Amino acid sequence: MDLGIRGRWALVCAASRGLGRGCAAALVREGANVVVTARGVEALQLAAAQLQALRPGAKVVPVAGDITSPAGREAALAACPQVDILVTNAGGPPPGDFRDWDRADWLRAVDANMLAPIELMKATVDGMAERGFGRVVNITSGAVKAPMDVLGLSNGARSGLTGFVAGLARQRRLAARNVTINNLLPGSFDTDRLRATMEASARAAGQPFETVWESRRRQAPAERFGHPDEFGAACAFLCSAHAGYITGQNWLIDGGAYPGTF
């Protein structure tokens, strides 16, 4: 299927590794031009070169910076001639116990996983509506649907974003102008973040990493972790010309791990 986004400009945040990179790769394969961001310059430049190799005709522009800061967002937006597609993403907050978190911890999580995506949408969706095409995908977490105790900062901040998006996506000045806004909720995907989280769990439980990894792998009916390319393919479809009637949705991609009917 031709997704109908050749030549569109996409801003994909936090995309030198993992899920953001999977999304950028799928969009580049479809012929979109991408601006990709991350804080680490070297890894970002390497990722940009590898993305470019997927489709030499596409434009791939790396912009180093912290997407949770106003300066990082300004630089990323300035590098994109126009934003037709916006994929918001940033690192997840650390696990822990809410008794140990203070106001500064909460503000960091809310800044990164709620306010940064909202600021990026604020900067882009009205332009999308004027041009009659826009796709926003926010990378959130399966924890929005099935909260995990130790990820309280993530559960809280991302639920705030989810509630906000539910209202924004239904604004007629956006939905009636072919601007869609959806959230993608990853379950367990084989990325550096997953490995780091599981190393911490293994240390806390006094178990070998492999034991924790294997037990988690078997939790989903699919009996495996997701691959970032699978996540990217779902993202690219939501960003496609064919997905104009899908908005305000929360797509869980978790190999069947969530046990509910809805």
- Residue 19 host element (H or E): helix 18-29
220 is a contact residue toward ligand NAP (CB under 6 A): no
Site for ligand NAP in 142-171 (CB under 6 A): 142
Token pair for residue 205? Answer: 């439980």
* Footprint (CB under 6 A) of ligand NAP, residues 6-35: 14-20
Asked if 40 is part of the footprint of ligand NAP (rule: CB under 6 A), the reply reads yes
Instruction: Give the closest residue to 228 by CA, choosing from 84, 49, 15.
Output: 15
Q: Which range touches ligand NAP (CB under 6 A), out of 4-12, 135-143, 173-181, 201-209?
A: 135-143
CB of 239 to ligand NAP, least distance (A): 17
Stretch that binds ligand NAP, among 62-70, 121-129, 171-179, 242-250 (CB under 6 A): 62-70
Strand order in the sheet with 33-38: 60-64, 33-38, 9-12, 85-88, 134-139, 179-186, 250-253
Per rule CB under 6 A, is residue 124 in the interface with ligand NAP? no
Q: How far is the CB of 188 from ligand NAP (least distance, A)?
A: 5
CB 41, min distance to ligand NAP, A? 8
Query: How far apart are the C-alpha atoms of 167 and 160, rounded to whole Å?
Result: 11
Contact between 6 and 32 under an 8 Å Cβ cutoff? The reply is yes
Q: Which is nearer to ligand NAP, 68 or 240 (CB)?
A: 68
Map residue 139 onto helix, strand or coil. Answer: strand
How far is residue 137 from each of residues 87, 120, 219, measured CA to CA in Å? 5, 11, 27
- Which residues, 75 to 114, sit near ligand NAP by CB under 6 A? 89-92
Applying CB under 6 A, does 37 fall inside the site for ligand NAP? yes
Whole-angstrom distance, CA of residue 131 vs CA of residue 77: 17
- The footprint of ligand NAP (CB under 6 A) covers 14-20, 37-40, 43, 66-68, 89-92, 139, 141-142, 186, 188-189, 191-194
